[in-house]
Amino acid sequence: MDSIGRYRLVRRLGAGSFATVWLGHDDDLDVPVAVKVLADNWASNNDVRNRFLAEARIMRRIHDRRLVQVHDIGTLDDGRPYFVMDYVDGGSMNDLRRQGIPPVRALQLCAEACRALDVLHDHDIIHRDVTPGNLLLSRSASGGAQVLIADLGVAKSMLDAVGATMTAGTPSYMAPEQAMGVTPLDRRVDIYSLAAVTYAMLTGHPPFLVRSIADILARDPSQPPEPIAERLGAPSTLDGVMISGLAADRNRRPPTALLLAEGLETIASQMEVSDAASQRGNGRVDPQPPRAAPAGASETTLSELSAIPYPAPVGPPAFQTSPQPMASSYFSSGTSYPTSQLTSPAEAIAQARPVSYYILLGVSALALFAISMFLTILVLR
């Protein structure tokens, strides 16, 4: 195709299972645009077609600079729907993940992604497929980059998610309860994905090696992600944040994307302060002062995290976890996430062990005792 509606097509930007995205140009307004077209083989599938149109409606309804905006919608001659969006020219966070970026910058961008996703959550929408590829970067005039949320093809309102029957998402970044098809889903599935994205941006790979839904279900839910703070030169608090954000029990995760953003921003600020002190100690002058915490950040949360020495002399505190031990399933229906205390990663790991672990430990101890008694009796005889 040379054009779609009044939009002249320049080149194909990418294609997925359900749609193709083209770089177009609006000659009337003289601006570049992105045009998303439903794939041929799904045009007659009403469920896919409805989800495609629902994506456009969600993006059109929420007017926010952190979300890719939809400007037009239409239908091709062959009946396939399409919609026209902003063209975001900075690539995606997945491009940066592959190239590798400094940890401080990765944390800052991931915090921006958290704040962008919080906009969706404020409108009672859960994304359900947060990946580095779905977080786009828009270049600013000053040379910086802003993170925008894209690809809401499987997004759901929190009300609709109660009756969702299809498991959708990317396994490497998918929360356990989402993989199991448990409903109702809530914003904590996106918070898990955001934590997984942060881990991937810092290390170059997702926190757990899973390629399918079956891999997620087979993974030991008590196994925490590999610690990364020490090798990144980050405060040990980072490992606690990762353990909490990637907890199999959703009650142990931060309750909001905003809280996760504040934690990541605090760690990034601590690293900048440490780097500046190191440079001064080496006789080098830091050309830019470390960034201050954002104005909208929670003073209580930031002060609690900032009070931790850098690097912390003891195990890093994580986000608050539920006081009850984790059940044998991936998640718990217990009390919601409290915020009155902090928990170290070691405690979080211990609390995350399933009940079966302690039963097996007790049975093993009894068996060992019985064998020792039997051998003692034999020797005495």
Query: Which pLDDT band, with edges at 50, 70 and 90, does 377 fall under?
Result: confident
**Interval 270-280: pLDDT, tens:** 999 988 777 77
CATH number for the domain spanning 100: value is: 1.10.510.10
Q: To the nearest whole number, what is the mean pLDDT of the chain? A: 79
* Co-location of 138 and 271 in the same domain: yes
- Whether 269 maps to a domain, the answer reads yes
Strands across the sheet with 70-75, in order?
Answer: 3-4, 7-15, 19-26, 31-38, 81-86, 70-75
368 lies in some domain: no
Flag whether pLDDT at 315 surpasses 70.
no
HSE at residue 47, side-chain half, CA atoms within 13 A, is 4
37 has a pLDDT exceeding 80: yes
Q: Cα(23)–Cα(25) distance, rounded to whole angstroms?
A: 7
In this structure, are 98 and 216 located in the same domain?
yes
Residue 20 in domain: yes
Q: What is the pLDDT of residue 270?
A: 94
- CATH code of the domain covering residue 29: 3.30.200.20
- Domain end residue (candidates: 86, 116, 137): 86
In a domain, 367, yes or no: no
Q: Please classify residue 147 by burial: count the beta carbons closer than 10 Å to its beta carbon, then call 0-12 exposed, 13-18 middle and 19+ buried.
A: buried
pLDDT at 158: 56
Same-domain pairing of 97 and 142 = yes
For 65-97, b where at least 16 C-beta lie within 10 A, e where not — what string?
A: ebbbebebeeeeeeebbbbbbbbbebebbbebb
Q: Inform me whether the pLDDT recorded for 334 exceeds 90.
A: no
Indicate the SS3 state at residue 302.
helix
Residue 377 in domain:
no
pLDDT band for position 375 (cuts 50, 70, 90): confident
Q: Is 26 a catalytic residue?
A: no
In this prediction, residues 309-321 reach a mean pLDDT of 35
Q: CA–CA separation, 93 vs 91, rounded Å?
A: 7
Beta-bridge partner residues of 135: 149
Instruction: Write down which residue in 58, 86, 114 finishes a domain.
Output: 86
Tell me the β-bridge partners of 84: 35, 72
Of 70, 86, 102, the one marking the end of a domain is 86
In a domain, 220, yes or no: yes
Catalytic residue among 129, 190, 239, 249: 129
Which tens digit of pLDDT belongs to each residue from 356-365?
666 777 777 8
Within-domain flag for 27:
yes
Q: Tell me what pLDDT residue 355 has.
A: 59
Q: Which domain holds residue 17?
A: 3-86
My answer on whether 262 and 138 are in the same domain is yes
Q: Is the pLDDT of residue 312 over 70?
A: no
Q: Mind listing the pLDDT tens digit for each residue in 217-233?
A: 999 988 999 999 999 99
Band (253; pLDDT cuts 50, 70, 90): very high
Claim to verify: residue 265 and residue 123 sit in the same structural domain: yes
Whole-angstrom distance, CA of residue 54 vs CA of residue 253: 29
- Number of structural domains found in the chain: 2
pLDDT tens-digit profile of 174-232?
A: 999 999 888 788 999 999 999 999 999 999 999 998 888 889 999 998 899 999 999 99
Quickly state the pLDDT bin for 338 (edges 50, 70, 90).
Answer: very low
Q: Is residue 251 part of a domain?
A: yes
105 and 146 in a single domain? The answer is: yes
Are residues 104 and 64 both part of a single domain?
A: no
List, in order, residues 6 or more apart from 84 with CB less than 8 Å away.
5, 7, 24, 26, 33, 34, 35, 36, 70, 71, 72, 73, 74
Asked if the model's pLDDT at residue 293 lies above 70, the reply is: no
Could you tell me the pLDDT band of residue 263, with boundaries at 50, 70 and 90? Answer: very high
Q: Taking the CA of residue 154 as centre, how many other CA atoms within 13 Å lie in the half-sphere pointing to its CB?
A: 19
The most confident of the ranges 65-69, 162-166, 252-256 is 252-256
The phi-psi region of residue 37 (left if phi > 0; otherwise alpha if psi is between -120 and 50; otherwise beta) is beta
- Quick one: pLDDT at residue 367? 82
Instruction: State residue 141's pLDDT score.
Output: 66
pTM, entire model: 0.71
Give the pLDDT confidence score for residue 47 in this predicted structure.
85
Residues 14 and 160 in one domain: no
Does position 342 have pLDDT exceeding 50, yes or no? no
pLDDT at 299 over 80: no
pLDDT, tens digit (0-9, with 9 covering 90-100), for 121-151 = 999 999 989 999 999 998 876 667 889 998 8
What pLDDT shows up at residue 3?
93
More confident residue, 96 or 282: 96
**Residues 14 and 125 both lie in one domain:** no
- State the pairing for strand pair 3-4/7-15: antiparallel
Clarify whether residues 225 and 260 are in a common domain.
yes
Residue 133: both structure tokens together:
């590829």
Q: Same domain for 75 and 99?
A: no
Residues 7 and 148 in one domain: no
Question: Distance between CA atoms of 327 and 251, rounded to whole angstroms?
Answer: 12
